[in-house]
Structure 1
Amino acid sequence: MVEAFVLIQTEVGRAEIVAKQLAGLPGVLSSEAVTGPYDVIVRAGAPTLAELTSAVVPTVQQVAGITRTLTCPIAGAMV
């Protein structure tokens, strides 16, 4: 399985709502509202990198209230 952290910025005041919505999506392993430069951090996974980038990440990005994402594949999970 290939995994990645998706760092997410949201509209003001929407972090908790977005984190809860993301938690129920296919491929989302965990979703947490955090403080700092990002508002939510998601751990996502898929059988292949292609599926992660073509199916899981775009689904995450479509959640209302998200303004920006940064996907960081986990190096150890790619081998």
Structure 2
Amino acid sequence: MAIAIVLINTDIGKEVDVFERLKQIPEVKEVYITYGTFDIVAKLEAPTLAKLNEAITRNIRNMPGVRSTLTLIGVEGKHFQR
């Protein structure tokens, strides 16, 4: 399973619009509107890195209202969750 955390900056006032669109992407498992350097944080999961790449490049980076992204790809086998 490929996992990524995507940090998203939106155009001013577009946070909620982008948040709602992100919820429609099957690979997006969690999404948060945040305060600070980034407007939104999203966790994505996909069966392969190629599918993850497709979701990020085609669906998120081209989304109206998204100004920029920073993607953190999780290292396989190095995950802990309570």
TM-score w.r.t. structure 2 length? 0.85
Structure 2, gaps ≥5 residues long = 78-82
Partner of 2:32: 32
Structure 1, gaps ≥5 residues long = none
Would the aligned equivalents of 1:20 and 1:31 in 2 still touch at CA under 8 Å? no
Partner of 1:52: 52
Matching residue's letter, 2:22: L
Partner of 2:12: 12
Report the count of equivalent residues.
76
After TM superposition, which residue ranges in structure 1, 4 or more long, deviate above 2 angstroms?
A: none
Aligned-residue CA RMSD in angstroms? Answer: 1.1
1 or 2, which has the higher helix percentage?
Answer: 1
Distance 1:50 1:18 in 2: 23
